Amino acid sequence: MVTELPHSRQFQVRNHDHRTGPKPQFYEKYFVQTLDHFNYNSMGNGTYEQRYLITDEHWKVGYGPIFFYTGNEGDIWEFALNSGFIMELAVQQRALVIFAEHRYYGKSLPFGQDSFNIPEIGLLTVEQALADYAVMITELKKQLGASACPVIVFGGSYGGMLSVYMRLRYSNIVAGALAASAPILSTAGMGESKQFFQDVTMDFEKIAPLCTSVIREGFQRLQELAQAKDYGRIQSAFSLCKIPTSQKDIHQLNGFLRNAFTLMAMLDYPYSTHFMGNMPANPVEVACNTMLSGSDLLHALKDTAGIVYNSTGALTCFDLYSLYVECADPTGCGLGFNSLAWDYQACTEIEMCFESNNVSDMFPAMPFTERNREQYCSKRWGVIPRSGWLKTQFWGDDLSAASNIIFSNGDLDPWANGGVRKTLSSSLIAINIPEGAHHLDLREANDADPASVIKARQMESDTIAQWIKMERQRYR
Amino acid sequence: MVTELPHSRQFQVRNHDHRTGPKPQFYEKYFVQTLDHFNYNSMGNGTYEQRYLITDEHWKVGYGPIFFYTGNEGDIWEFALNSGFIMELAVQQRALVIFAEHRYYGKSLPFGQDSFNIPEIGLLTVEQALADYAVMITELKKQLGASACPVIVFGGSYGGMLSVYMRLRYSNIVAGALAASAPILSTAGMGESKQFFQDVTMDFEKIAPLCTSVIREGFQRLQELAQAKDYGRIQSAFSLCKIPTSQKDIHQLNGFLRNAFTLMAMLDYPYSTHFMGNMPANPVEVACNTMLSGSDLLHALKDTAGIVYNSTGALTCFDLYSLYVECADPTGCGLGFNSLAWDYQACTEIEMCFESNNVSDMFPAMPFTERNREQYCSKRWGVIPRSGWLKTQFWGDDLSAASNIIFSNGDLDPWANGGVRKTLSSSLIAINIPEGAHHLDLREANDADPASVIKARQMESDTIAQWIKMERQRYR
């Protein structure tokens, strides 16, 4: 779901002086966590060190609420440094803030470098991750004398799904959840396979219908060259480090390009960002300008991909297989350890059968059926995905017994229509942000913020304040 | 939690002509079930055959609700044949009735005779059992064209705990739960260690204070003989097949005796029953009469134990170690396969640190600390119990976000005070049955029923009818 870009993380963590809001002064700590919550006799009958970030800078000790970020598929610093809204809320509410890292990501590798072997990878499941958070919250509340402090969970994207699930499964521990851009329906097999890339395409269409036409045409030109096996021309047009030699390489190039457009749509923020790589302000507009200004379509496509893959201009050529990893998630698996762990999750519980079809979207048709997924996952990880499991386990759209969840989504975000878009009850609230990209609302305030996200954050803030108040009454 | 008695099950299943209510004509079937719901790369990456009983005799096809019994620690026929109230309700509501067998019990052994080896036993957890039921309900609803049929779960004792958990964890699947005699608090480490045997004692005290005095005295006499190492006298007094030779044997004898009183208290029904063995009507009264009529205290104790262990009079002597199994559950683990599986559950998730102390109860002091439990479980199963897990995982008494659960308890039942005794909200209803023993309300109507259980069943029936009505509106 997340594609992390090369060279970005180090930059991120070390240089966050560009931030304008309250700077989080996190302590980085490790929690001794149960390896296997669901089998007392497995290899997991032990513990591992789970990383978390914590700051009590604004906390009214023993009274202020706990804001707990349910970490998703990546280094936890990445999320901590790109969720400034939580810190802004923490100041208002005098909250203790914790960002917990998801097992098998970042530095929370249960078996070190062996974590991605079979069978060690088997302890990577949504349920284990949720149990980690439940145990961590329970234990830290004790240690910190915070037993009466209401806990609100926050998360973006898959992290938002985890926040929803925490509220559903651990209502005893979690008083409410802000789930930003959480595609709980599409990942549970309740979406349409064409939805995602159609919505990516729509973002570009909104800038200018000509933009999508030109992108389509660029892909078409590439296809013609590939059919003619004019691989030399393709290499030079796209500045590829290695000459493509097969249909497989062309497929990889198409995936690499499609992924660039996907990322620009997801991260179409109104100011430049350094989340999952460097992105200019309004990247979709920048991309369309690039596409429309080039004289050569293929070069324009390459330059557009370069916005994502070569923001610093340091690369002299594109190494397709290192810059983009194809996996069980057609929207991208990221790079490095992330890619392995997320690939496994997309092969087991998280259903991601999105495909482009060149009809409802501007990309080459790249089918990815349930059967493709099964074959890949069986070969790669020795697993057969269990369709319908996430829906059974985490309720799908049957949320009538749930409460205290905000589902926020931005209309620019291709993930949005895989989530809950309509308010379901007085305590299951959908907030839609017309000018918002992927969990923009979780980011700190910025002068370039559209009015819709400012309004959304205000509603979120008010609702969370109300949950905290209600929870306090319950403790009395 | 359950102690099954010898020779009882076969009798039960084959001869249920003594029943007076509607006879369930169950089909016995097997469901191909996922072995390991929480690890895609474990040895459990396969399936096993889970037994269930089903009857559509009263079902209004595709419309009537589904009544689903969440099987507990035993052969599923045992529960199906002793829960006649569910059938009576099914007639009223035109319901489909399913009794599902819990993995690792009865014929639902995932690894056959190897199921109780390490590590095969590791897939025996509450979470796996709940996931089994969730998957089974979801799949059977599809197969039977019952997608719009509301599902109500029922369970007694540990089965009642599972019913509560099903409603908490799978509100998308289960509209409501009748949890009869479900000690959700004491088993989650939220009880008092003295509670259980104190309440057993109270049942005898209620018949006559002299009764408990005499029982106390009998145990005291036994203790004196043991201290004098007069093992021959002990053997003859208690008709033991083997002469005791150690303090360990005396400990076993004490456990064997205490267990008889426990069972009579739990199963203190106003008519004779064949659930977990044969029991006369009002066994606590019968026991007190026996205790008070004998001239010799030790013989009286033996004869009282015989009510439980030798109801048919077929035994000429008591083989202590085959009639009673000491395990991680001080209230008894049953016999045969049951004992192994339940012992494992009491060593892992289910906390059962009850002990008798000879002060607040009439039994010899038989300490069973958290540390005793750890040592035993570590040695027997290679596991360390995780205190607090059940409370974290299944909410303990923090049920404010839950709904549609009836907690019924009988005042005669020593398990009752480990459960929810007070109504928590308009949809979390406690029903207390002053004259009721262990889930008497789940049994079919009987002429000897006290008024309190008749009233309780009526309230249960009304509440369930209302849940079904509400759920139907939701589907519309």
Helices and strands (DSSP H and E) totals, chain A = 16, 8
Q: How far apart (Å, rounded) are the C-alpha atoms in residues B407 and A327?
A: 48
Q: How far apart (Å, rounded) are the C-alpha atoms in residues B438 and B82?
A: 12
pLDDT for residue B474: 81
A357 and A336 assigned to the same domain: yes
**Contact residues on chain A for B382, CB-CB shorter than 8 A:** 41, 45
Show which of residues 34-53 on chain A sit within 8 Å of chain B, judged by CB atoms. Answer: 34, 36-42, 45
Burial B15-33 (b: 16+ CB within 10 A, else e): eeeebeeeebebeeeebeb
Does residue B219 belong to any structural domain of this protein? Answer: yes
Indicate the residue among A356, A381, A406 that finishes a domain: A381
Instruction: List CB contacts of B434: < 8 A, sequence separation 6 or more.
Output: B410, B411, B450, B452
pLDDT beneath 50: ranges in chain B? 4-21
How open is the CA angle B340-B346-B351, to the nearest 5 degrees?
175
pLDDT for residue A336: 75
User: Which CATH number belongs to the domain containing residue A305 in this structure?
Assistant: 1.20.120.980
Identify the bridge partners of residue A98 per DSSP, sorted by sequence position: A54, A68
Q: Tokens in use for A320?
A: 């397709």
Beta strand B47-55 with B96-100 is antiparallel
Q: How far apart (Å, rounded) are the C-alpha atoms in residues B463 and B333?
A: 34
CA separation, residue A87 to residues A57, A155, A242 (Å): 10, 13, 45
Identify the bridge partners of residue B55 per DSSP, sorted by sequence position: B97
pLDDT for residue B445: 98
Torsion of CA A198, A203, A204, A206, to 10 degrees: 120
A153 and A10 assigned to the same domain: yes
pLDDT for residue B18: 43
**Contact residues on chain B for A393, CB-CB shorter than 8 A:** 131, 134
Backbone angles phi, psi at A232, to 5 degrees: -65, -45
A44 and A11 assigned to the same domain: yes
Of the candidates A173, A392, A401, the beta carbon closest to that of B134 is on A392
Q: Which candidate, A475, A214, A187, places its Cα nearest to that of A353?
A: A187
Mutate to test the interface with B, among A34, A37, A38, A147 (most CBs of B within 10 A): A38
Does residue B387 belong to any structural domain of this protein? Answer: no
Q: Which candidate, A58, A218, A211, A44, places its Cα nearest to that of A132?
A: A44
pLDDT for residue B8: 35
Q: How far apart (Å, rounded) are the C-alpha atoms in residues A115 and A124?
A: 9
Does residue B386 belong to any structural domain of this protein? Answer: no
**Contact residues on chain A for B386, CB-CB shorter than 8 A:** 34
Does residue A433 belong to any structural domain of this protein? Answer: yes
Indicate the residue among A327, A351, A381 that finishes a domain: A381
pLDDT beneath 70: ranges in chain A? 1-24, 43-45, 476
Indicate the residue among A354, A381, A408 that finishes a domain: A381
A37 and A136 assigned to the same domain: yes
Identify the bridge partners of residue A179 per DSSP, sorted by sequence position: A155, A407
Name the domain count of chain A.
2
A55 and A162 assigned to the same domain: yes
Cβ A130 vs Cβ A141: under 8 Å: no
Does residue B17 belong to any structural domain of this protein? Answer: yes
Q: How far apart (Å, rounded) are the C-alpha atoms in residues A337 and A117?
A: 12
A179 and A202 assigned to the same domain: no
B204 and B320 assigned to the same domain: yes
A336 and A277 assigned to the same domain: yes
Mutate to test the interface with B, among A35, A41, A473 (most CBs of B within 10 A): A41
Tell me the DSSP string of B313-353: S--SSB-HHHH----S-TT---STHHHHHHHHHHHTT----
Q: Which helix (H) or strand (E) holds A154?
A: strand A151-156
Does residue B116 belong to any structural domain of this protein? Answer: yes
A325 and A213 assigned to the same domain: yes
CB pair distance less than 8 Å for B42 and A122: yes
Does residue A386 belong to any structural domain of this protein? Answer: no
3-state SS, residue A439: coil
Does residue B43 belong to any structural domain of this protein? Answer: yes
B183 and B204 assigned to the same domain: no
What is the total residue count of chain A? 476
Distance from the Cα of A450 to chain B's closest Cα (Å) equals 36
Q: How far apart (Å, rounded) are the C-alpha atoms in residues A333 and B383?
A: 37
Beta strand A66-70 with A151-156 is parallel
Provide the edge-to-edge strand list for the sheet that holds A66-70: A27-34, A47-55, A96-100, A66-70, A151-156, A176-180, A405-410, A428-433
Nearest residue on chain A to B471, judged by CA atoms? A400
Beta strand B151-156 with B66-70 is parallel
pLDDT for residue B476: 66
Write the single-letter amino acid at B317. C
Residue B8 structural domain: 2-189+392-475
User: Which CATH number belongs to the domain containing residue A424 in this structure?
Assistant: 3.40.50.1820
A159 and A251 assigned to the same domain: no
The whole-model pTM stands at 0.94
Q: What is the pLDDT of residues B121-151, one digit of tens each?
A: 999 999 999 999 999 999 999 999 999 999 9
A257 and A352 assigned to the same domain: yes
Q: How far apart (Å, rounded) are the C-alpha atoms in residues A238 and A221?
A: 12
